[in-house]
Homo-oligomer: A and B are copies of this chain.
């Protein structure tokens, strides 16, 4: 029996989408022929995420038939990878005992992820079907705040005392019932169970059997408090290229460990969050129904609504001027829009510099000064260009002058606010990604209209 039939010629990177499409063909074929053996092979041999996506791709009746055939052969990891929208359906087929078996098979972090969104009754039902030890693990995990290190960690760890030898440690690991393929580091703990070092499997292999682990352990292990926010966890892993890190409680005792692959998921989530916030969407509503989406988006659009109403209010004040020089109406969005776009550029660069810790307190004024200088250069070029256009095409040099001057002022404001607002928000320990954008856009709009129409009224009428 071949273990895995390769789906691709070996000289190319595999394409997950093609893999899933081919799996779907095979699964549908096996379902038609009633070939259960082929389905068992499929779920055993392919990565959990591919099988999970295969399930999402199958039609509802096919999925049901597939799951009913393979349910006792289905690796727990597949269930943990299945999209949330299908969980209810899958849980129903597996039944409480089946789900409890899956939860017992998973590491605590994945098990938590599976049950944390269930309603309390379902949670209780599942918790009551797992072993007492497992239940204690899960209940401890659930006690940590969402998006904290405590939720990310797995409680399955290997700890040894510092006086053990490499040989003793190796025997201990070999005799463990269930060593994960994802075991990379063994932690060395003192009598009070505080982690004092870590030994990689590589170090265990290299060193003689009678060497004491405290002599070969590395001591910079970067312990993480269980309450720590997951974004900080991701920063630490990235910074120090960690494969794993111990998680500690208030007393400094080791309670679990976090592994790099969970951190990759977090990095992804945090990147998504930042990107969506920039466009004023709180979180992806791609899978949400119409009404939820409309509600979420409207909340964010209220800022824009405030912006347009204030702008309309400002413009109304200058109706007489517009009546006198109607070209003002056509030209007034120029400064507002250009400085708004520039302000967003400044703010985004700042938000990113803050997020990556590139902006130190001492650099604040240097950064602001630089942005104002950039505004003078770009604003100058834009002012000459657009002022020139007006002078040339509308044969109205004073109007061109007013446009150029107001554009310069708009750009300077955009640079100043774009640089300073994120820094000030960050200083108050708030997330500059959320509120900087709307503040910049709203102020550049309102000021843009007010400055241009104000200067025009002063000098042209």
Contact = CB atoms under 8 A, between A and B. Distances in A.
A353 B181 contact: no
Given A327-B319, A345-B281, A370-B293, A334 B312 contact: yes
A91 interface: no
B49 A240 contact: yes
* Majority-rule SS of A interface residues: helix
18 contacts: A10-B252, A173-B206, A179-B205, A181-B218, A182-B243, A201-B201, A205-B205, A242-B261, A263-B264, A279-B347, A286-B352, A290-B370, A308-B337, A309-B389, A311-B337, A312-B333, A329-B329, A333-B333
| Stoichiometry (number of copies) | 2
Given A252-B9, A330-B315, A275 B278 contact: yes
A17 B225 contact: no
B280 A341 contact: yes
Interface string A147-174: 0010000000000000000000010011
Given A294-B378, A348-B281, A378-B294, A341 B301 contact: yes
Contacts of A225: 11-13
A174 B205 contact: yes
A182 B4 CA distance: 28
Contacts of A334: 308-309, 312
B13 A224 contact: yes
A261 B236 contact: no
A248 B10 contact: yes
A129 interface: no
Nearest to A382: B305
A47 B240 contact: yes
Given A220-B47, A280-B341, A381 B298 contact: yes
Contacts of A251: 11
Given A12-B225, A13-B223, A238-B265, A373 B260 contact: no
A326 interface: yes
B49 A353 contact: no
Nearest to A197: B3
Contacts of A73: none
A322 interface: yes
A304 interface: yes
A222 B202 CA distance: 23
Contacts of A287: 358
A201 B205 contact: yes
Interface string A251-282: 11000000011011101100110111011110
Given A264-B264, A276-B352, A309-B334, 13 more contacts: A4-B219, A10-B252, A45-B220, A267-B268, A280-B344, A281-B348, A290-B370, A301-B382, A305-B385, A312-B334, A313-B330, A315-B330, A323-B323
A284 B332 CA distance: 30
B279 A337 contact: no
Given A11-B248, A248-B11, A378 B298 contact: yes
Interface string A323-364: 100111111111001100110110111101100111100000
B194 A250 contact: no
Contacts of A377: 290-291, 294
Interface string A172-190: 0110000111111000000
A330 B316 contact: yes
Nearest to A334: B308
A134 interface: no
B300 A345 contact: yes
B327 A308 contact: no
A263 B261 CA distance: 11
A206 B176 CA distance: 9
Contacts of A236: 13-14, 16
Contacts of A349: 276, 281, 284-286
